[in-house]
Amino acid sequence: MATSPKLDAKVPDGALETKWTKYRSTVPLVNPANKRNLEILVVGTGLAGASAASTLAELGYKVKAFCYQDSPRRAHSIAAQGGINAAKNYQNDGDSVYRLFYDTIKGGDYRAREGNVYRLAEVSGSIIDQCVAQGVPFAREYGGLLSNRSFGGTQVQRTFYAAGQTGQQLLLGAYSSLQRQISLGNVQMYTRHEMQDVVVVDGKCRGLIVRNLVTGELERHFGHAVLLCSGGYGNIFYLSTNALGSNVTAAWKAHKKGAFFSNPCYTQIHPTCIPVSGDHQSKLTLMSESLRNDGRIWVPKKQGDDRNANDIAEAERDYYLERRYPAFGNLVPRDIASRAAKERCDAGYGVGKSKMAVYLDYADAILRYGKGEANKNGLHNPSEAQIHDLGIAVVKEKYGNLFDMYQQITGENPYDVPMRIYPAVHYTMGGLWVDYNLMTNVPGLYALGEANFSDHGANRLGASALMQGLADGYFVIPYTIGSYLAGEIRNKALPTDHEAFVQAEKTARERIEKLIAIQGTQTVGSFHKRLGKIMWDKCGMARNAEGLNEAIQEIRALRDEFWTDVRVTGDADELNIELEKAGRVADFLELGELMCIDALNREESCGGHFREEHQTEEGEALRDDENFAYVAAWEHQGEKGWNLHKEELVFENIKIAQRSYK
């Protein structure tokens, strides 16, 4: 297989360990006086966007940042719970940059680019240093040093955390840096603004059209470079753990202006979420993967067992992850844990009212911690009640906010009865194709964080999203952007009355007017729900050719129906929540088709992409490295559909093998 000439990944030559350090020292620089004249637009203010915007501003570039929320602090990175990985080896348990690199490549089922992933592992330690210096209150041991825990797919403790609110604390750190740059006048912040289109002139990205969500006004902004840090597209499934406003619009508009979209079928279904409770449900809530450190997952050994969990004796329980994967047990990667839960529920062993749930049980952990505390406190012969209380106190400290959230949502007390959990859409590994510099194939247009495809292959490991978002923003883009901007110092800012801006704004305006003019009979939400059901049923945890072909037809029909029968109330020149939603759902209705096409094209199973036709006898994902060890990069061709370009994945440092966690 040869890589398409349109896809030059620009990974530097040389040994893996020296690629980044060498490249960093040779990448062209922009002198401080020139930086002041170079404008960079950043879309999205989550971990990737806020860290990039603040760091680039610190370097002296003129930065404008945009977010649809009312404050940059509300980007959905805030909701990440469990932690952030870094190869610090503070626990002296054998961790190293190479091991983090290896775990990430293997965890991604050998579908990520070696060079990018190694760099990610290399800069991971600096992220922790930076965050601590910002005042991020990570969990600490009594000696005052940082505490770590384990996450799925690894056998070391390399995850740094702040209770179950790690994303919040990291984002507030990045946000505080961003606010500092705003106060210094180096960043202009545009809240309640949503990107409508990118402006491309002579093949280069030169700016954006954005909509002021309060006044409805369309604005034109010039940029020498544009960074899309707009997150993932999991909300295409309607129900997901994403925020309700999370959307694909920025990436999708870039895609339609020429940026290739890679591996859209790679979606992550997270194994531990609170199950759906009814048709009214608007989102799903994650229970952090960190809970699998101590919790044990089980179902009854008997099908259709209706007894209460606590009435089912130990011998009648099937701890199916521990049974199937003794080496990793409850800490297998997410894709594997999710499929195993689905397998048990589909086979009739599910629990709860809907029977679409499994138990996550803390009874053993409470007992174990309780005994430990009793020993520590010199309690000889403690009573069962004493042990129980001491154990609960420990669990509360580690996971209290998660247990409270569970109780709030379900009305059940998880300290007394095991939690019921089921997989839900959580993260998307696919995204805009980028090279080693994080630049898309459109010069001047970059994608960072979840919005790009580059580091997680076909399955992301827990606590790696925060690492990647901050790596891209703090430590990669500030260097790599020089390789492009050094060549732009002679190019003055383009006046925004340039024809390309006028045209892009006109297209955006016409689309908005069209959405309002349809005045059909069905709500935006009802279309979104129907699309989500198609995607979940046919392009979800398991896919097959027949279902995917059906889904493509159904999505096309739904899209036509949307554009003739959707009802958007209100006007274009005001805060209009239905109009915002309609624009986002219209883009999802296009992306859905591409996800199914990509899933259909990939005649193998890998990571989160499970094609039922391709599995081992034991029901594990069966890759086809000979034919599919490539990144699929889709080129949008208007009405004609998409054209596939392939970037071959070359593994020079890791021996590609069947992934085993047994």
Partner 1 sequence: MAEGHSADNMTLTLKVWRQKNRNTEGRFVTYTLGGVSPDMSFLEMVDILNTQLIERNEEPIAFDHDCREGICGSCAMYINGRPHGPKQVTACQLHMRSFNDGDTITIEPWRAAAFPIIKDLSVDRSAFDRIVAAGGYISINTGNAQDANSTPVPKEAADEAFMAAACIGCGACVAACKNASAMLFVSAKISQLALLPQGQAERRIRAEKMVAQMDEEGFGACSNTGACSAECPKGISMTNIARMNREYYGAKLKSTNV
Enzyme catalytic residues: 334
Q: Does 36 bind partner 1 (CB under 8 A)?
A: no
The answer to whether the CB of 205 falls within 8 A of the CB of 441 is no
Binding flag, residue 162, partner 1 (CB under 8 A): yes
The DSSP letter of residue 126 is: H
Given the complex with partner 1, which of 198 and 286 has the nearer CB atom?
286
By the rule CB under 8 A, 166 interacts with partner 1: no
What 8-state DSSP symbol labels residue 475?
I
Tokens of 80: 């990440």
Would you say 357 or 631 has its CB closer to partner 1?
357
Check binding of 481 to partner 1 (CB under 8 A): no
* Least distance to partner 1, CB of residue 617, Å: 39
CB of 493 to partner 1, least distance (A): 25
Q: Which is nearer to partner 1, 163 or 341 (CB)?
A: 163
CB of 339 to partner 1, least distance (A): 25
Phi, psi (5° rounding) for residue 63? -120, 140
State in angstroms the smallest separation of the CB of 591 from partner 1. 20
Q: 425-444: which residues touch partner 1 (CB under 8 A)?
A: none
Euclidean distance between CA atoms 68 and 25, whole angstroms:
37
Which residue in 243, 419, 451, 606 binds partner 1 (CB under 8 A)?
Answer: 243
Residue 96 interacts with partner 1 (CB under 8 A): yes or no: no
CB of 421 to partner 1, least distance (A): 15
Site for partner 1 in 363-402 (CB under 8 A): none
570 binds partner 1 (CB under 8 A): yes
Contact stretch for partner 1 (CB under 8 A) within 114-122, 371-379, 426-434, 470-478: 470-478
Nearer to partner 1, 68 or 446 (CB): 68
In 377-418, DSSP assigns E strands to none
507 contributes a contact to partner 1 by CB under 8 A: no
By CB under 8 A, name the one of 1, 21, 28, 70 that touches partner 1: 70
Residues in contact with partner 1, total (CB under 8 A)? 83
- Give Cα separations from 547 to 30, 276, 539, 593 (angstroms): 52, 23, 8, 12
Q: With binding defined as CB under 8 A, does residue 459 bind partner 1?
A: no
55 near partner 1, rule: CB under 8 A: yes
Decide: is 510 part of the binding site for partner 1 (CB under 8 A). Answer: no
| Cβ-based burial of 43 (10 A; exposed 0-12, middle 13-18, buried ≥19) | buried
Is residue 575 within the footprint of partner 1 (CB under 8 A)?
yes
Binding of residue 409 to partner 1 (CB under 8 A): yes
State the binding string over 119-148 for partner 1 (x if CB under 8 A, else -).
------xx-xxxxxxxx-xxxxxxxxxx--
Quick one: which segment of 25-33, 54-62, 367-375, 428-436 binds partner 1 (CB under 8 A)? 54-62
User: Cβ closer to partner 1: 134 or 155?
Assistant: 134
Interface with partner 1, residue 93, by CB under 8 A: no
Q: Does 589 bind partner 1 (CB under 8 A)?
A: no
HEC per residue, 344-359? HHHCCCCCCCCCCCEE
Backbone angles phi, psi at 214, to 5 degrees: -85, -45
For residue 642, give Cα distances in angstroms to 7, 23, 256, 429: 16, 34, 10, 20
Q: Which residues of 330-357 are buried (b: 16+ CB within 10 A; e: fewer)?
A: bbbbbbbbbbbbbebbeeebbbbeeebb
- DSSP labels, 240-279: SSS-TT--SHHHHHHHHTT--EE-TT-EEEEEEEPPP--T
Across 82-142, where does the E strand assignment appear? 84-85
Tokens encoding 218: 């369309």
Evaluate whether 661 touches 327 at the Cβ level (below 8 Å).
yes
283 forms part of the interface with partner 1 (CB under 8 A): yes
Q: Is 285 in the site for partner 1 (CB under 8 A)?
A: yes
58 touches partner 1 (CB under 8 A): yes
Distance CA 504, CA 499 (A): 8
- Residues in Cβ contact with 515 at an 8 Å cutoff, skipping those fewer than 6 apart: 566, 568, 579, 582, 583, 586
